[in-house]
Structure 1
């Protein structure tokens, strides 16, 4: 990924689109610009002339591709011990039979700080960090289907389905439709005018393109139930919780018919929330059926026979169709809102497809993992709305009861959230009412993000300090960081430009190395046969 991290309009002294910013000192001095605006190139050239330029490049390498890295300042202490280490005071490492090997202060580093990637999962915020998150999400999801990363390979034989749970309709929207043969057909064709109570003709004879801006927008904004939609977003997590309970109960009834107990099986799942163009969430879920080993409850074992794929799919279908509830009352809706999956009028609640490791025409583990990982890095940008958390000072910038579709959804969330019991809607108004995580999983589905990240850190540190590791292979290295937040973002836009260019070059080099390794492996395999 080589997307630029440079904003279109940094802190500027000239018009929009200029890559310029206000004068700022760089190592105690600023470019001599006179009355000319100061551009990123000025700071980039100044940085490149610095004697410590290449040291700076190596220093910022871990965060080079980040849009808004975190700056940390303080002290790092490194010690070695064969015993147990503990943090004593803020100025020393206290360890049993230990010695402090080094004390490093960030004041001696380039810029006097450590740059740490922001770690944001959203592609629209930080493409580089989102790519790291996407790859971790891929490994997390795929290991729950095919094994690896500490998950036994036997999970590949467990019954598993790819489940899509959609929200009900809250009004007519522009959409892409296909016939049974896969041919594109008009959005909403009608022979005669179909006028709503607000005088809007609800016909649309266009065949919309895939990226068309009008997709997901209501045919009549006044007919659309924006309040019900933000409430559904807000209650989607509770609806999923009740659905998992219903699936387990349905499977338990089936298990009793086979002479099994409810404690003989376990549901494991990995779930990704996708924000549709109309601004409502729906869930893509991998549901796996496991067994339970009484002697080792944490082990992942096959489900007891004869429970299988058909039983799992039947239980999910029943739960999706029957799980619904009524929310608590609200001054604007005293009886509350009904919450349930799918479109009751069409009788469609869930799309359930079996997952296989291999096979032509089947949904494979790699396909599912890549699909879910892609949506794990997205948010509300598909609706045309991107903002941070909203407050009373900023809500008027994004909410409008008579404005566009996203503006009306934000206004609905903010308005309904004015009641104390519904205050969560205001907290998540920038997310159109949805306050859940975009990627969640059950405890024993697969590995965790923390394990993946810790493994990556250990690998990098081992790679960087292999010599020291060989010299002290019997001892334990203890690193204690006494760091404090110093700020966020690059010092100048010129630094961002150079860091982004260096990160892009590193990505290209790594990609070329992987391609060369793949070509070498293929050639070696060809020679063997």
Structure 2
């Protein structure tokens, strides 16, 4: 069913003065989205409404705020401005939800993705307040591999890059449950079967959700191990521990099988005696290969055992990768010149893409799960995602492990999807504030920054609701936002072509 034919109840909040409920009674049929859009567009205040909702026009579920805002002169205390949402179109202020998940709000997630790209790339080549000299610092793109919890369907490739069968075997390979663990197929990208266990009963769902839950702690211990390993390497070449520091940007990716692994940029910086907070080149004795050796050693050796659980008295061993295969982390140097294995732009785009994703790849998408909702998503005999949710919920039965229930909708993972060290790059807040200042400067003829220095704004805005008043408003707002994006893209392309001549 498309948006233009989606029926809405006649009781839906109406556009002032359009009388759509009366029209519904006259026609004897329900109001549809295109009816609301037509009535809104016929309203004399349509263009005022469109300008009013522009900041949140592309958002799928904008936040509605009500209240008032006072603006006073900071020097005299005189009231110089007053605004009440009651005098505005619809009586509310629309604010974009800001959700980072593309499955929830594609528009806000795209803004987040672009900010993530700028944040990550600034830590590789400079900009946004980061010195351009960081482009010459040793940097490694590391993927910390999650361990195996059972055989799953997957895409495999040979060393030459040719696709090969999933799990070929010459002879029958039966598991204890009588399931043949062979799979001679070459799976296509995007197949739903990818990431699902060959035998659901053999798969260790409990261990996987515990690993997801403990992954942030494993990463914390890994960063300590990297520093210790690099300190030892540095001393061998005559460099002291206080002469360098590590900075990183990290993105968590939820794989199809429902387990997280980390993509990390690790950058090696120096320490300036005159300005400890400055970002300066590291000692010349330390090279990229030294950094890679320290990361590889830390990935292999970092491990710990969790606290005891009623279902596992000796706890679970938490470590990277598969010890049997000897694969713990995939390490590649980052080159900004474009002649290395991977470039700064490739890394930034790759990580920014995963910053807007969550558990969608597994087929499970939900909000916070409560006791009333758990039966909708958890089933010990159900699909792979349902068994993971059940494992998280059942293991979180004790106070010490209650975090598993809190993050059951995330399959046990409760960490942030994008984090960084303090000095790696700028912050999301700096990027958002710069965008706000730019918008206010453009709208108010370059007077916004001067006004902010001499005025004080007191807001008493409160949450009124979320979402558009009706589907017709959503259609018009999103159409306007799409047109604005198209104009901006055309303008960027025109400027790019102009600079080439």
TM-score band, normalised by the shorter chain? over 0.9
Matched, 1:484 2:477: no
Q: Match of 2:9?
A: 22
Q: Quote the Cα distance in structure 1 between the aligned partners of 2:446 and 2:302.
A: 59
Q: Is it true that 1:66 corresponds to 2:59 in the alignment?
A: yes
| Aligned equivalent of 2:47 | 54
2:274 to 289, 295, 318: 295
- 1:227-242 matched pairs, under 5 angstroms: 227-242=206-221
Q: Which residue number in structure 2 is paired with residue 89 of structure 1?
A: none
1:412 counterpart residue number: 391
Show structure 1 runs of 5+ residues with no match. Answer: 1-7, 11-16, 81-94, 524-529
| TM-aligned CA distance change 1:289 to 1:469, over 3 Å | closer
Q: What is the distance in 1 between the residues matched to 2:258 and 2:38? A: 45
Residue aligning to 1:33? 24
Q: In the superposition, relative to structure 1, how do residues 380 and 469 fare at CA in structure 2: closer, same or farther (>3 Å)?
A: closer
CA distance in 2, matches of 1:482, 1:253: 56
Q: Secondary structure at the match of 2:500?
A: helix
Cross-structure match for 2:195 = 216
Q: How far apart are residue 30 of structure 1 and its match?
A: 3.0
Q: Does 2:69 correspond to 1:76?
A: yes
Shift of 1:395: 0.4
In structure 2, runs of 5+ residues without a counterpart are none
> Displacement, 1:411?
0.1
**Structure 1 residues 210 and 469: alpha-carbon distance in aligned structure 2, compared to 1, 3 A threshold:** closer
Query: 1:268-288: CA deviations, max 9, x gaps?
Result: 000000000000000000000
**Alpha-carbon deviation of 1:27?**
1.6
**1:51-450 aligned within 5 A:** 51-80=44-73, 95-360=74-339, 362-450=341-429
CA RMSD for the aligned pairs?
Answer: 1.6
Q: Deviation string for 1:133-177 (max 9, x for gaps)?
A: 000000000000000000000111110000000111000000001
- Structure 1 pair 343–37 and aligned structure 2 pair: CA distance change class (3 A): same
**CA distance 1:402–1:475, change in 2 (3 Å):** closer
Deviations 1:164-195 (A, max 9, x none): 00111000000001111111111111111111
Q: Give, in angstroms, the shift of residue 474 of structure 1.
A: 11
1:344 CA displacement:
0.7
Instruction: Indicate conservation of the 8 Å contact 2:437/2:448, yes or no.
Output: no
In 1, distance between residues paired with 2:236 and 2:158?
41
Match of 2:35 among 23, 42, 52: 42
TM-score, length of structure 2 as denominator length: 0.96
Q: Taking structure 1 as the reference length, what is the TM-score of the superposition?
A: 0.91
Q: Distance in 2 between matches of 1:469 and 1:202?
A: 66
How far off its partner does 1:74 sit? 1.0
Distance in 1, Cα, partners of 2:213 & 2:6? 40
Match of 1:504 among 464, 482, 485: 482
With over 3 angstroms needed to count, the CA separation of the structure-2 counterparts of 1:61 and 1:76, relative to structure 1, is: same
Task: After TM superposition, give the deviation of residue 124 of structure 1 in Å.
Answer: 0.2
> Structure 1 residues 356 and 69, CA, compared in 2 at 3 Å: closer, same or farther?
same
CA displacement at 1:346 relative to structure 2: 0.6
Q: Confirm or deny: 8 A CA contact 2:75 2:454 kept in the other structure.
A: no
1:476 CA displacement: 2.5
1:78 is displaced (CA, Å) by: 2.4
The within-5 A match list for 1:513-528 is: 513-523=491-501
Q: Deviations over 1:177-227 (max 9, x none)?
A: 111111111111111111100010111111100010000000000000000
- Say if 2:5 and 2:34, in contact at 8 Å, map to a contact too: no
